[in-house]
């Protein structure tokens, strides 16, 4: 009688990915394309969406394929991740094969493991392959529900990296994010660490500093700020609150200037610091750059002529604004 080893905790099991490259690529394109398509329909047809300086994102991504890229934004809703990328997904398709490859195989991002993968669903790595489909260890058997298997497969195919909240910046998910950057990949991160529906951003976590410090090539960081998703999907305040997307809201996505850590001198300033001080310095720098995008955008929102793409919808709830200082 064979005896299977006891399952390890989610934090102890290393991240792995299965083989099957053909299925892997097909699953990525199917999941990302489907989510992007429906997100685009919702944010463009059922909401009034404004994008500001979006060419900064496209040009930074397309013109720096040989550099690691980190995009960082505030996190105001569970829908902001698919929603903000769905607004312009048609641009990546219009950019040809290169654009389609970028949106379907390049970008990945951390997300809480207990939400996206379940407490017992873990990724596995095989031959250092790309992240992709999730395979559940056979010894778990019925311990993993069908729903957990399905959500794990879905989010893994969508290039989501599982992060265990509370385990700090040194954990398998962050190791994988660093690896992707060292392959000149693209990592998107919500550095607030949780959904924050207030106008003032929360202090950023140190994870982004680790990504920057451990990249073999100094990365380019593109900060951006968005507003309105907290009205589309407000967090329930009591158990009786209904949790569903609301239409006819106004969304604003504003992209800042790309920050090149190969030339801005920030990494040189940290050479004489210990690791903790260096992480604080870099994290504060990125936080201030993101706050700058918010302040500049809110300053522009005070101008009644800022809407360059026509009048807003009637009966649309405008997003709340507030001084982030």
Q: What is the pLDDT of residue 120?
A: 43
Per-residue burial over 190-227, b = 16 or more CB atoms within 10 Å of its CB, e = otherwise: bbbbebbeebebeebbbbbbbbbbebeebbbbbbbbbb
Task: Kindly report, residue by residue over 103-132, the tens digit of the pLDDT.
Answer: 555 678 898 887 777 654 444 443 333 333
Lowest-confidence range among 54-68, 167-181, 209-223? 54-68
Q: What is the pLDDT of residue 152?
A: 76
The position carrying tokens 């202090």 is 203
d(Cα 123, Cα 76) in Å, to the nearest integer? 27
d(Cα 177, Cα 186) in Å, to the nearest integer? 9
189 membership: H or E segment, kind and range:
strand 186-190
Tokens of 35: 């989510």
Q: What is the pLDDT of residue 177?
A: 93
- Is 311 a residue whose pLDDT tops 70? no
Task: Kindly report, residue by residue over 151-166, the tens digit of the pLDDT.
Answer: 777 887 788 888 888 8
Q: What is the mean pLDDT of the chain?
A: 76
- Is 278 a residue whose pLDDT tops 90? yes
Radius of gyration over alpha carbons of the chain, in Å?
20
Selected residue with higher pLDDT from 1 and 255? 255
Contact call for residues 150 and 116 (beta carbons, < 8 A): no
Percentage, residues of the chain above pLDDT 90: 38
Going by C-beta distance under 8 Å and a sequence separation of 6 or more, which residues neighbour residue 323?
199, 200, 295, 298
- Which pTM does this prediction carry? 0.78
Task: Give the 3-state secondary structure of residue 151.
Answer: helix
Q: What is the pLDDT of residue 122?
A: 42
- Is 77 a residue whose pLDDT tops 70? yes
Selected residue with higher pLDDT from 256 and 322? 256
Q: What is the pLDDT of residue 106?
A: 65
d(Cα 159, Cα 179) in Å, to the nearest integer? 14
């Amino acid at each position: 009688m064979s005896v299977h080893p006891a399952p390890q905790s989610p934090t102890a099991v290393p991240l792995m990915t299965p083989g099957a490259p053909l299925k892997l690529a097909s699953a990525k394109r199917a999941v990302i394309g489907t989510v992007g398509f429906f997100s685009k329909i919702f944010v463009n047809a059922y909401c009034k969406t404004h994008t500001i300086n979006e060419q900064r994102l496209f040009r930074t991504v397309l013109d720096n394929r040989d550099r690691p890229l980190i995009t960082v934004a505030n996190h105001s809703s569970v829908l902001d991740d698919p929603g903000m990328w769905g607004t312009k997904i048609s641009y990546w398709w219009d950019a040809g094969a290169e654009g389609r490859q970028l949106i379907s195989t390049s970008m990945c991002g951390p997300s809480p493991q207990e939400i996206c993968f379940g407490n017992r669903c873990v990724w596995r790595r095989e031959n250092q392959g790309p992240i992709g489909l999730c395979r559940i260890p056979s010894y778990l058997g019925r311990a993993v529900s069908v729903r957990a298997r399905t959500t794990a497969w879905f989010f893994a195919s969508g290039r989501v990296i599982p992060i265990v909240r509370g385990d700090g910046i040194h954990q398998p998910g962050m190791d994988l994010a660093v690896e992707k950057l060292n392959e000149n990949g693209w990592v998107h991160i919500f550095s607030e660490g949780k959904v924050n529906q207030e106008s003032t951003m929360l202090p950023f976590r140190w994870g982004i500093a680790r990504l920057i410090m451990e990249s073999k090539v100094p990365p380019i960081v593109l900060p951006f700020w968005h507003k309105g998703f907290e009205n589309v999907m407000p967090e329930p305040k009591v158990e009786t609150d209904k949790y569903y997307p609301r239409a006819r809201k106004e969304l604003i996505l504003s992209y800042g200037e790309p920050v090149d850590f190969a030339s801005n001198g920030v990494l040189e300033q940290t050479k004489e610091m210990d690791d903790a001080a260096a992480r604080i310095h870099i994290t504060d720098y990125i936080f201030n750059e993101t706050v700058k995008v918010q302040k500049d955008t809110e300053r522009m929102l005070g101008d009644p002529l800022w809407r360059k793409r026509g009048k807003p919808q009637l009966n649309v709830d405008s997003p709340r604004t507030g001084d982030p200082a």
